[in-house]
Every structure is written in C-alpha cells, then in structure tokens.
Amino acid sequence: MSKLNDKLHVLSELTDVNNELIPLKEMADREFTASYGLTGMVYRPHLDTYMQVCVNKAEVLACLKRQGILPLSKVEIISETLDSLHKRARSHAIVEYEGDHYQRIFLPLKLSKSGKTVQKWAKIWLLQQANRKIDLLWESQVREIWPTYFLIRAIDL
C-alpha cells in the first residue's frame, strides 16, 4: 500500500466509503467494459474515481486494524504466514498450507518512466480450488485489502 496516513479513522468512515463505492462500481464496470481492448491512455473518470475510493477504503481498513477495532482477515494472516515460510517463492509457485494450495503471483506495481520495464513488483498469494482455478472470493478479498497492487503506475509510490 502507499504511504500510510497518520490520521486515525473510525468505523463509521468505513460505512461511508462502502456507500460511496456502490454507485461507482456499476459505472466503473461499464466504463471498463467499453474501453476493454483499447491501447494507450484512455480517459476513464468513473473507473479512476472508483479505484481512488477503493484505495481510501483500504487505508481506512488498515487504520482500523492497526487500532485493533477490526481483526486481521484470514487473507492477511495466511498471506503473512506464507510470506514468512516461503520468502523465495517464484512466480506461479504452488505451495500447500493447512491442506489448501496457494499460488504465488507477481504483479507489476511500478513502471519506469518509459513504461517498458518494471521497477517494483507486488507479491500476492492466491488460493487455488480443487480444480486448480483461482478462488474468486479470495482474490476479491486480496483486491479489497491491497487495491494499489492492481494499479500499474508509471510514477513513484
């Protein structure tokens, strides 16, 4: 996540952010579908607004968890455990933990100014189902906790 803010948040702020996300999600999904497959810089104000609110939500969640108001999620606990157990896991490596299989994924997080090389990678663990497909609920929880990992940036984080 980007630099953490020193401001403390309250639980009601999380409700406010969630209410703000509801109408933005529908517009952002329509906008993403309309621009899918295009290359270059695309003007997408609804998608960008939605992503900014998602980042704000993640910041509020992180603050509430640091204060002890909300507990750490299962995704966070297992991700931290897998990170400590498998520090050198390569991309697409599959490990077993407590009877479940997890796949290590690297995502480009920060690009060079030219946009041709990746300067910083995000590392996440995704839960695999029995048929070797990624569990979509797990992935959505990862996106909720660390939305900045899914935004490729050409600027410094």
Angle, alpha carbons 136-157-37 (nearest 5°): 50
Average pLDDT, the chain: 81
Confidence of residue 2 (pLDDT cuts 50, 70, 90): very low
pLDDT of residue 60: 87
Of 18-22, 52-56, 132-136, 147-151, which has the strongest mean pLDDT? 132-136
pLDDT bucket at 97, cuts 50 / 70 / 90 = very high
Give the whole-number percent of the chain exceeding pLDDT 90. 34
Portion of the chain with pLDDT greater than 70, in percent: 81
Residue 155: pLDDT over 60: no
Q: What is the pLDDT of residue 153?
A: 59
Q: What is the mean pLDDT of residues 120-144?
A: 91
What pLDDT sits at residue 103? 96
* 74 three-class SS: helix
What digits encode the pLDDT tens for the residues 26-79?
777 766 666 554 444 455 666 677 778 888 888 888 888 889 998 999 999 999
HEC profile for 84-146? HHCCCCCCCCEEEECCEEEEEEEEEEEECCCCCCEEEEEEEEEEECCCCCECHHHHHHHHHHC
Confidence (pTM):
0.67
